[in-house]
Every structure is written in C-alpha cells, then in structure tokens.
Amino acid sequence: MNEYKDKILKVCNESSKNTLMQTLDIEYVDIGENFLVGKMPVTPKVHQPDGVLHGGATVALAESVGSMASYIFMDAQKLFVRGIEISANHIKGVKDGDVFAKATVMHKDKTTQLWDIKITDAEDNLISICKLTTIALPRK
C-alpha cells in the first residue's frame, strides 16, 4: 500500500510544477481512503505585512489540497475538477513553521463534492477551518 500511496503523492507533486502550488511551496504528503494532506511552509513570502500567515495563502492551500483530492478520487481520464465555492474561518495566527491541510470528503456524487479542510500547525493546533465545493465536468 505504501508504494501505491507514494506513487499517487509523486504524481500530485509533479503536477504542481510551474503553478501557484510551486510558488507557495505546497507539497502533498499523505493520502488515505477518503483524505489528502498537503503542507506549506510559513515564511515571509506568505505573510501579511504584520508577519503572520496571510488568510489568502491559507485559502490557496486549502483549495489546492481539496481540489487535488477531488481530482484523485474521481475518474480523471473522463472528468476535470474545478473549485466552485470555498469558505474559511481563521482561528489562530501562525508566524513560522509548517501548516498542514487535511481535506476529507463530506459528500461525493457524480458531479459535486464537498470537502472539509482543517488547517493545523506542526503541533496539531487548529489554524483554520475551510469548506470547499468542487464540480467534476466531462472532458471534451
């Protein structure tokens, strides 16, 4: 199973080249039956002017991980995935270290998917709670 997980994570990470995910140093680090985890370092390039993690960077991490989760749990040969709505509640500020986004499926059907995405720090403190709705559309 680890070899299979490693292969999926490698494909996910390779798909991030030359994208916002690469710019933000987002890396996919774990996958399970109904979840995907990504991490992002908190450095000055994702800070607000006062030196804490920017909420927009947090939301970009959440949407990146949720959309990738939707993509890997759908038939990517026949469908493409787009985020159609995201909401975020920011709980705690972070100045440095890594943050982790765990996207867990709440609802999945042929067209729409709803993801619960919890953002935590390395000590598992809750930083933000996000919900993402994605849509899967047929490839033409």
Catalytic residues: 63
The answer for residues whose C-beta is within 8 angstroms of residue 99's C-beta and 6 or more apart is 39, 40, 42, 53, 58, 61, 119, 120, 121, 127
- C-alpha 69/C-alpha 86 separation (Å) is 15
- C-alpha 5/C-alpha 115 separation (Å) is 20
8 Å CB contact between 28 and 37: yes
